[in-house]
Chain A
C-alpha cells in the first residue's frame, strides 16, 4: 500500500510538472477589449452552435475592420470549447475572466444553460456581467437581486406569455382562449421546465387547459409523447425542445397526424437546422424567435460587402448566411458591443472592466433610431435595460417554415410582462433569502 502511495506522489508531481507548461499571459495591450467566446464546436449541439459563432465573429470582425473598433477600442477574441457542459464552461470562464494579454473582459456570454447556472454566483463574486440571450435564470430579470445576470430580450417567462398572446390573436381574442387546450411538449431539463410556472399562471388567468408533456433527453424517440398528444387533442402545441429532439418531434407529430401548422416552436426550436432534418413534415411549422431568419437586413448587406465577399467570414457553409442561428450570433454580438458603447459614454473611450460593463448594460438603450443606425432594424427589437429590469424587450416574431425558408407571419408579439413580474419578484426574493443576498436599492442606481 505504501508503495502505491509513493507512486501516487510521483504521479501527482508528474501531472503538476506537465501542467506548469501552461502558458502565462504577459505584456499588456493598450487599447483592446477582450471578448471571450465560449463555444461548442464538438458534441451533440455543435450543429446549432457553429453558425452562431460565425455570426458573432463576423460581426466582431466587421466592427474592427470597418468601424475601427468601438470608438477606436479594438476587440480581440479567443475561443474556448465548452461542449455545452457546465464543467468545461467553468474552465473557460476561469481561463478568461482575467482578460487576455491585459485586455479586460467587460461582458461574458456563457452560451449554454448548464454553464449559465453554474456561473451565476461565480460571476457575481468576480463582478463580471453574464449576458444570456433567450436562456438562463428568469428571476435574474430582477437586477436588484442579480446585479451581474442579464437574461436579455426574451426570458422563458416572456416567451410563454408571447406564445399565449399569439395564440389568442389567432383564436380571435383572449376571451376565446377559455376552454382551449394548449399542450407544452418540453425537453425534460432545467431549460424545459422553466415555462411551467408562467403557463400555469396564464392558464388560470385566461381559462385554457394547460398540458405539460416531458421528453427525456436527448429525445430521439417520442412516440409515447405524441400518442399522448393525440389522445388529448390539444388545439395548439407549444414545442420546447432543443437539438435533435426538435426534428424528431415534428416528424413524430406528422406520423400521429397532428397538424404541423398548430405547433409553435420556441426560441431554441426555431432555426433552419431544426426543421431541415424533418423534411416535408416541417412545412408549415411555426416558431417564435427574437432574431428572425433572413439575409435581407441592412447589417447583412454590410457584412456581405466587407466580410463575406472578401473571404474573411467564419462561415463554413455560405448557405447558413442569414439563418436563424447566424442571426442570433449577430444579435448577441451587437448587444455586447452596444453595452460596451454605453459604458464608454460614461467611463471614457477605453477598454472597460466587468463592473463598468455592468453599468453599460444597465444603461443600455437601443431604440428604433439606434437599430437603424447599426443596421439591425427589423432583426432586433428595441431594448432598454435598467437596474430593476435586466430583460428589456420581451417580444418575439412568429415565423413559418415553407420548406425552404422562414417567412415572417407577425411583427413583434409583445409578452405581458406586468402579469408575470410578481412571479419573477417572488422567485428572486426566495433566492435572496436562501442565499442571504441583500437586494440593491435600484432607485440609488440612476
Chain B
C-alpha cells in the first residue's frame, strides 16, 4: 500500500511544464447539466436548504482559502472574518444603494472583502509561517469585534442581526429554496471557473512558486510581496462572496457570531481534509465536513435510536467523526482528493497491480 502511493504523481497541482491537450470535459458538462437542470426539479426543500446550499457555500469558502493557503502557502485562520466582511458589506450595499442589482451587490461585497484582505495581507511582506497565522487570527477577532461593536454595520437593529432585504435578479424573486440554490450554484460555478483559470495562469504559477520556496521565487524575479498580497485579496474576494451567500442564501440572517473562529477552523479543515492546492479537493472536503455528520446522525438514529441515551448518541457521533478524520489523514496526509485519485488509478488498471 505504501509503496503504491509513492509511485503516483503529487496530488496538488504542480506548475505545468507542458501544454495540456484540450478535450471537451463531458463528465463535467453532464454534472453541470444535472446540477442546473435536474436537481432544482427533483430536489425537495430539505435537500436544497439543508444539504446542497451549505455544501456549495462551504466549497466556495474552501476554494477561497485554498487559493491563499494551498496555492500560495500562506496559512490563514481568519477565513470567517473575511466572510463576515463580505456578508455585512453586501448587506450594506443592498440597504444603502437603492436599485443596486444583487449580482453587483455580491461582487461589491466581495470587492470590499478583497480590500480588507489586502490590508491584512500587508504583514505577509515581513512575517512568515506561524507568525503570519497569528496576524490572521488577529484579523478574525478584530473583524468579529467590529461587526458587533458598531451598530451602523447592522443598521441599528436591536438584535445585531442582518437579513437580506431583497433577493432578486432581473425581476426574478429568488426567495424560494430553488432560487437560492440556483443563485449559489451560479456563483460557485462562475468563481470556480475563474479560479481554475487563475491558478493555471502566470499568477497561479507565481503563487505556486512562492509556496514551494519564496527565496527561489524572488531570485527568479517574481515580485513575492506583491503576489502574496494579491493572494490575500483574491482569497478574501472569494471568502466575501461565500460569506454573503452563507448569510443570505443559506441562513437568511446572520450576525457576527455566525462567522466566529469555529467557522474559520471548519474551512481550514475542509481544505486540509479535501486536499491543499487542489480545486476539486474543496468540494470533496466540504462534502466530508458538512455531509458526513448528517449521515452519521441518520445512521445513529436508525440503528441505535431509542436503545441508547440521546446525549450519548450525539457524543458518539462526534467521536466517530473525529476518528474518521484522523484515520483518513493517517491513510493519506495529502487529503481525500489524493485518496480518490489513487482509487481511480487503481481502478483503471484493475485487476492488474502496479
Contact = CB atoms under 8 A, between A and B. Distances in A.
Contacts of A87: 54, 250-251
A93 B13 CA distance: 40
B2 interface: no
Contacts of B311: 41-42, 46, 50, 316
Interface residues of A, number: 62
Contacts of A114: 255, 257-258
Given A41-B311, A117-B161, A95 B50 contact: yes
A138 B283 contact: no
Interface string A111-134: 000100110111001100000000
Interface string A85-100: 0110011001101100
Given A5-B28, A190-B159, A193-B159, A11 B258 contact: no
A310 interface: no
Nearest to B301: A78
Interface string A5-18: 11111111011001
Contact of B284 (A11, A91, A196): A11
Contact of B31 (A12, A22, A316, A435): A12
Interface string B252-270: 1101011010000000000
A380 to B, nearest CB: 26
A266 to B, nearest CB: 15
B287 interface: yes
A193 B160 contact: yes
B203 interface: no
B291 A15 contact: yes
B163 A41 contact: no
B126 interface: no
A19 B251 contact: no
Given A12-B287, A94-B49, A4 B27 contact: no
B209 interface: no
Which of A3, A5, A11, A23 has most chain B Cβ within 10 Å?
A: A11
Contacts of B161: 117, 190
Contact of B294 (A6, A19, A41, A50): A19
A7 B258 CA distance: 31
A8 B302 contact: no
A316 B251 CA distance: 34
Interface stretch (B96-104, B132-140, B333-341): B333-341
Interface stretch (B75-83, B216-224, B273-281, B324-332): B273-281
A2 interface: yes
B252 to A, nearest CB: 5
A196 B340 contact: no
Contact of A11 (B13, B23, B301, B336): B336
A5 B337 contact: no
Contacts of A188: 148
Given A8-B284, A91-B294, A190 B255 contact: yes
B158 A94 contact: no
Contact of A4 (B158, B260, B279, B310): B279
A261 interface: no
B309 to A, nearest CB: 8
B263 to A, nearest CB: 10
Contacts of A189: 148, 160, 255, 257
Interface in A173-212: 188-191, 193-194, 196-197
A282 to B, nearest CB: 26
A14 B280 CA distance: 13
Contacts of A97: 45
Interface string B237-259: 00000000000001111010110
Contact of B280 (A5, A46, A120): A5
A5 B297 contact: no
A217 B257 contact: yes
Interface in A23-50: 23, 39, 41-42, 46, 50
A95 B318 CA distance: 20
Contacts of B252: 118, 120-122
Contacts of B13: 1, 4
A445 B258 CA distance: 37
Nearest to A22: B298
A329 B49 CA distance: 29
A268 B50 CA distance: 29
Contacts of B302: 23
B69 to A, nearest CB: 16
B7 interface: no
A39 B297 CA distance: 13
Nearest to B277: A4
A283 B63 CA distance: 53
Contacts of B291: 15, 18-19
A99 B311 CA distance: 23
A145 to B, nearest CB: 14
A270 B137 CA distance: 35
A21 interface: yes
A81 interface: yes
B164 to A, nearest CB: 9
A6 B314 CA distance: 35
Interface string A309-352: 00000001000000000000000000000000000000000000
B283 A11 contact: yes
B54 to A, nearest CB: 6
A147 B148 CA distance: 29
B175 to A, nearest CB: 8
A94 B175 CA distance: 16
Contact of A90 (B50, B158, B337): B50
Contacts of B315: 41-42
Contact of A5 (B45, B163, B279): B279
B128 interface: no
Contacts of A117: 159, 161, 163, 253, 255
Contacts of B280: 4-5, 7-8, 11
Nearest to A423: B158
A86 B341 contact: no
B202 to A, nearest CB: 15
A6 B27 contact: yes
23 contacts: A1-B196, A2-B25, A4-B281, A5-B25, A6-B25, A6-B27, A7-B278, A7-B284, A7-B337, A11-B337, A12-B283, A22-B294, A42-B318, A50-B311, A78-B305, A81-B314, A86-B253, A87-B54, A90-B251, A91-B294, A114-B257, A122-B252, A316-B309
Given A8-B279, A427-B158, 15 more contacts: A3-B341, A4-B279, A7-B278, A7-B337, A18-B295, A81-B314, A87-B250, A94-B45, A95-B46, A117-B255, A120-B252, A121-B253, A138-B158, A197-B158, A316-B311
Q: Which 7 A-B pairs have the closest CB atoms?
A: A8-B280, A190-B159, A11-B284, A41-B311, A15-B287, A94-B50, A4-B280
